Amino acid sequence: MQANQLESSMPCNLCGGHHVEALSNRSRSGAALRTVICKDCGLVWSDPFPHDPRQFYADDYRLAYKQTYAPKAKHILRAGRVALERHAKIKHLLQQRRRVLDVGTGGGEFAYLIQSLGHELQGIEPNKGYGEYSAAQYGLNLQIGFIQDAALDDASFDLVTIWHVLEHTEDPSAVLGRLRGLLKPDGILVVEVPNVEAVCQSPASSFHEAHLFNFNANTLQRMGEKVGLTASEYRLSEDGGNLTMFFKPAEVRADSAALSGNADRIGAIVRGHTNLRHFMRAAPYLRFLKKLQRSIAERGLNQPVADSKALLDRLYREYRVL
């Protein structure tokens, strides 16, 4: 076995293998974090996990990244604009009244938009602080807890959305299987995750403690097939950083989850994404200018907001969505 080939401490969540290779040994914070890739299918994960996922996301995550449960005006507006972008991706699925499940509602901005458009919205949020905040601010129908434990009826949703949550879960195959069971026979599941093949971020920022798993289109599609989902389409964001996949219920695919050549493909992209190549591209400088423009536009928006709902209503009307 070559020096960089290892045995994983847990089986691959996609194909069950233990034959892995190290992609990185540091997180974007500079702390030790071993990130491995399954040589049989190309799934990427933190091995071992850097924290207890249930405890971390229920209690610590929001405070670790936001330092507060009461967002400032700029945070609400940023999240509201993201909600508008997400709505634009799925509005073709919302031409009539739908029963929608949003998994990982966070601050509630997307869930509130869907509810405001007249759909029957059910939310799930594992973090107690954010869940209580968003339910109180926006009147959301919300369960606080993990989707694996939620009290929901099978085959009861027309549309299920899970935006940038799957990569945080300790067992993404089980989560997709649970979501498949919640879909009506003609329902749609929309999954968005960071794209492990992305080169829009600096190489040092590729892996961090919050993302336990990392996907490309091949591994996400095959994980869906493993639990009885078929991908009808997928899209990459303009900068390649986000992968959005649309699934429909199907028969469970019985053959192996191995993906020949996928690990080599991902490994070549990750290892080829060097600082020199990154900073020779225009993207990082355009990204910096965009952040600078946003900071200038957000001057005066650093105070907590008493009425988040009114702020979002104004934003959504401005974009002529409500």
State the Cα angle at 237 between 300 and 61, rounded to 5°: 55
Both structure tokens of 51 = 């924290």
281 has a pLDDT exceeding 80: yes
- The pLDDT of residue 6 is 81
Please state the rounded mean pLDDT for residues 115-130.
Answer: 95
Q: Is the pLDDT of residue 4 over 90?
A: no
pLDDT higher than threshold 50 for residue 302: yes
Indicate the residue type of 123: G
pLDDT at 293 (0 to 100): 83
The pLDDT of residue 271 = 95
- In this prediction, residues 117-140 reach a mean pLDDT of 94
The torsion of the CA quartet 147, 149, 150, 155, rounded to 10 degrees, works out to 80
Name the average pLDDT for the chain.
92
Locate all alpha helices (DSSP H) within the chain, ordered by sequence: 53-55, 61-66, 73-90, 109-116, 128-138, 172-182, 217-226, 262-272, 275-279, 283-297, 308-318
pLDDT of the residue at 306: 79
Q: What is the reported pLDDT for 263?
A: 97
pTM of the predicted structure, to 2 decimals? 0.94
Give the pLDDT confidence of 134-185 residue by residue, as tens digits. 999 999 999 999 999 999 999 999 999 999 999 999 999 999 999 999 999 9
Q: State the CB neighbour count (10 A cutoff) for residue 291.
A: 10
DSSP state of 59: I
Please spell the DSSP secondary structure of 10-39, one letter per residue. S--TTT---EEEEEEEE-TTSSEEEEEEET
Closest CA to 294 of 85, 113, 80, 77: 77
Asked if 167 and 214 touch (Cβ cutoff 8 Å), the reply is: yes
Of 122-136, 203-217, 283-297, minimum mean pLDDT range: 283-297
The pLDDT value given to residue 3: 44
pLDDT digits (tens, 9 = 90+) for 66-103: 556 667 888 899 999 999 999 999 999 999 999 999 99
pLDDT score at 1:
35
Q: Is the pLDDT of residue 300 over 80?
A: no
pLDDT tens for residues 108-119? Answer: 999 999 999 999
CATH architecture entry for 5-254+261-318: 3-Layer(aba) Sandwich (3.40)
